[in-house]
Every structure is written in C-alpha cells, then in structure tokens.
C-alpha cells in the first residue's frame, strides 16, 4: 500500500476550510489540555472510529512522531479516503503561527506526571542512599525496573495509579 502523505500546516488549514476533518490521535488528557480548534479527538488506540469522519482526513499528534510511526494504521483506518499526516504535528502548527486552545484548568498529561514523579523518586532514593543508608538505592532500582517493564509491556503502573487521582479523573473538555 502507498505510504500516507504529509501536509504542511498551511496546506492543512486550507484543506480544513475546504471540508477536511482534522483528527487528533493523542490521548484524551493531552487533547483536553491543548488542542487545535475543531480537531476531533480519536486516540490512536481507537483510530478505527475515524470511519465516521467526512471528507479527507488529516491526522495529527504533538510532534508528528506518533502519526509517522502509525502511518499504515492511519491509512488503513481511512478506508481508501484521502488522508494525510500533519507534518510536524501540533508543534509545527503552532510554529506556523496557527492557533491552539489551551485549557489551563486541565491537569498536565499523565505521562508528564509520571516523568515528574519518577524523576523525583530516583533523585530522592539516590540522595538518601548517599546521605543516610546505601539501602535506599533500592528505590531508584525499583523505579528503573518499573520503567523497563512499562517499556516492554506498554503498561505503566504509575500512570495507572496517577490516572485514578481525583484531579486526573475530570471529564476532558471537547
């Protein structure tokens, strides 16, 4: 099958004005925090739901990395309709001077929360192992093992735990 073509932010704006559907494949928490106006949020895991979109489809993520990696799945989900990947994702969209909507009331993404908590625990365990007792090195080792497990399986226990916090259970904004 032919690879999915990319489209610049300027050309994407024109296509959207002409009736193309902009589909944000990021997770709902990412979309709720910042989004391109008018974009429909269909996370990559549910990209098959895109069949309800009308006209050409333009897929986007934050940087273009996820859409590039999933290009074949995105093309398959379009079922032969014209589809494109927004070159450089939302980052390029903003760099081109196009507007996004930011909802500062939404929490930062769960993955950023995981990075903050993980980094803090590794730093804490390292400092405690150097200043209090070497046994505290078990904390960064445990965190490292958890990260390796998350990378190998695609399931992150810390992300699951953080997503249950009341602030992260807010209903995403449309």
Phi/psi of residue 12, nearest 5 degrees? -65, -40
10 lies in the same domain as 95: yes
The verdict on residue 172 lying in a domain is no
Indicate which CATH number applies to the domain containing 90.
Answer: 3.40.250.10
Of the pLDDT bands very low, low, confident and very high (cuts 50, 70, 90), residue 9 is very high
Using the Cα atoms of residue 24, residue 26, residue 28 and residue 30 in order, give the sign of their dihedral. Answer: negative
10 lies in the same domain as 62: yes
Residues 84-102: pLDDT tens digits?
999 999 999 999 999 999 9
pLDDT of residue 64: 94
The verdict on residue 93 lying in a domain is yes
Q: How far apart are the first and last CA of the chain?
A: 34
39 lies in the same domain as 86: yes
Instruction: Decide if 61 is catalytic.
Output: yes
Task: Single out the catalytic residue among 61, 75, 77, 85.
Answer: 61
pTM attached to this predicted model? 0.75
The last residue of one of the domains, among 102, 133, 148, is 102
Which residue bears the tokens 């998350």?
150
pLDDT of residue 15: 96
Can you give the residue range of the structural domain that contains 42? 5-102
Cα angle 83, 84, 89; round to 5: 145
Please give the Cα distance from 99 to 35 (Å, whole number): 9
Of the pLDDT bands very low, low, confident and very high (cuts 50, 70, 90), residue 50 is confident
- Would you say residue 124 has pLDDT above 90? yes
97 lies in the same domain as 29: yes
pLDDT of residue 12: 97
The last residue of one of the domains, among 81, 102, 123, is 102
- Would you say residue 109 has pLDDT above 90? no
Phi/psi of residue 34, nearest 5 degrees? -150, 135
pLDDT of residue 54: 72
Number of folded domains in the chain? Answer: 2
Quote the percentage of the chain above a pLDDT of 70. Answer: 94
pLDDT of residue 79: 86
- Would you say residue 1 has pLDDT above 80? no
43 lies in the same domain as 97: yes
The verdict on residue 174 lying in a domain is no
Of the pLDDT bands very low, low, confident and very high (cuts 50, 70, 90), residue 2 is low
Spatial CA neighbour of 81 closest among 52, 46, 116, 55:
55
Helices (H), the chain: 9-17, 28-33, 65-69, 71-77, 89-95, 110-131, 138-153, 157-163
Q: Which two tokens stand for residue 113?
A: 């929360």
């Amino acid at each position: 099958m032919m690879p999915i073509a990319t489209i610049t932010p300027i050309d994407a704006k024109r296509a959207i004005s002409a009736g193309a559907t902009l589909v944000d494949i990021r997770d709902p928490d990412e979309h709720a925090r910042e989004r391109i106006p008018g974009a429909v949020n269909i996370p990559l895991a549910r990209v098959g739901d895109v069949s309800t979109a009308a006209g050409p489809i333009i897929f986007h993520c934050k940087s273009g990395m996820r859409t590039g990696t999933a290009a074949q799945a995105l093309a398959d989900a379009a079922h032969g309709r014209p589809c494109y990947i927004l070159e450089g994702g939302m980052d390029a969209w903003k760099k081109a001077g196009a507007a996004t909507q930011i909802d500062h009331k939404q929490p930062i993404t769960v993955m950023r929360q995981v990075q903050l908590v993980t980094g803090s625990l590794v730093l804490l365990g390292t400092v405690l192992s150097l200043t209090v007792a070497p046994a505290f090195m078990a904390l960064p080792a445990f965190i490292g093992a958890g990260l390796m497990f998350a990378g190998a399986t695609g399931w992150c226990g810390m992300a699951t735990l953080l997503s249950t916090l009341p602030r992260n259970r807010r209903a995403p904004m449309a």
